[in-house]
């Protein structure tokens, strides 16, 4: 007698094929991110030395570009962790968010410092952006703290 459950479980693509395709995609995505990071580094170095004046405009642009490259590398790390562990790690995404928010704070702060003749409306908008970005950083850092605390919580309970 045939089992009805086995008859209903016919699949179009076998599971091991899906896993292999997924592995190939992760490798290709990781390589793409690595190439993008290398290209971004190359163009960032060129732009830093071609920007006039180098101080402060070129330096601020270089810091902004470096933080962008760090974000790309953190995304690459997340893809690699997903490939090796099989799950996306929350803390990596939170760290990417913190770096992106800090990058935005530095960009807005630098534009406020370097811009001459900003109107009061533009200044107020920039200050609000800084406040919101700072709040996002605080919230993300708190989320990282909660995530780490929740990961260590079961270990503390089981040791008692």
Q: Across all residues in the chain, what is the average pLDDT?
A: 86
Residue 27 falls in which region: left (phi positive, over 0), alpha (psi -120 to 50) or beta: alpha
The pLDDT, as a whole number, for residue 43 is 97
Give the pLDDT score at 131.
Answer: 97
Looking at the fold, whether 32 and 78 belong to one and the same domain comes out as: yes
Residue 9's pLDDT is what?
Answer: 67
Name the band, by pLDDT with cuts 50, 70 and 90, for residue 55.
confident
Weakest mean pLDDT among 66-80, 111-125, 135-149: 111-125
In this prediction, residue 129 carries a pLDDT of: 95
Q: How many domains does the chain have?
A: 2
For 79-98, the pLDDT digits (tens) are 888 877 777 788 889 999 99
Q: Is the pLDDT of residue 160 over 60?
A: no
In the chain, the percentage of residues whose pLDDT exceeds 90 is 49
Phi, psi of 14 (to 5 degrees): -60, 150
CA-wise closest residue to 51 among 65, 39, 35: 65
Both 58 and 80 in one domain: the answer is yes
Same domain? For 150 and 110 the reply is yes
The residue segments making up the domain with residue 24 are 13-87
What pLDDT is recorded for position 87? 74
Whether the per-residue pLDDT at 143 is higher than 70: the answer is yes
Q: What is the pLDDT of residue 22?
A: 85
Q: What is the pLDDT of residue 8?
A: 60
Burial 113-125 (b: 16+ CB within 10 A, else e): eeeeeeeeeeeee
Among 67, 87, 107, the domain-final residue is 87
Burial class (CB in 10 A: 0-12, 13-18, 19+), 41: middle
Same domain for 80 and 24: yes
The answer as to whether 1 is a domain residue is no
Phi, psi for 79 (deg, rounded to 5): -65, -40
Mark which of 30, 54, 87 sits at the end of a domain: 87
In a domain, 2, yes or no: no
- 98 and 45 in a single domain? The answer is no
3 state SS for the chain: CCCHHHHHCCCCCCHHHHHHHHHHHHHHHHHHHHHHHHHHHHHHHHHHHHCCCHHHHHHHHHHHHHHHHHHHHHHHHHHHHHHHHCCCCHHHHHHHHHHHHHHHHHHHHHHHHHCCCCCHHHHHHHHHHHHHHHHHHHHHHHHHHHHHHHHHHHHHHHHC
135 versus 82: which is more confidently predicted?
135
- Domain assignment present for residue 8? The answer is no
Pair 120, 82 in one domain: no
Residue 6 lies in a domain: no
């Amino acid at each position: 007698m045939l089992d009805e459950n086995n008859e209903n479980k016919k699949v179009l693509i076998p599971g091991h094929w899906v896993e292999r395709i997924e592995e190939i995609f992760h490798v290709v995505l990781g390589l793409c991110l690595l190439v993008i990071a290398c290209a971004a580094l190359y163009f960032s170095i060129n732009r830093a030395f071609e920007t006039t004046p180098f101080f402060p405009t070129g330096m601020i642009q270089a810091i902004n570009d470096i933080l962008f490259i760090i974000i790309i590398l953190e995304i690459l790390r997340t893809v690699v962790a997903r490939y090796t562990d099989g799950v996306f790690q929350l803390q990596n995404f939170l760290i990417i968010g913190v770096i992106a928010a800090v990058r935005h704070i530095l960009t807005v702060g630098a534009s406020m410092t370097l811009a001459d003749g900003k109107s009061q409306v533009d200044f107020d908008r920039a200050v609000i952006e800084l406040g919101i970005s700072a709040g996002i950083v605080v919230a993300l850092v708190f989320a990282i703290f909660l995530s780490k605390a929740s990961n260590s919580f079961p270990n503390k309970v089981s040791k008692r």
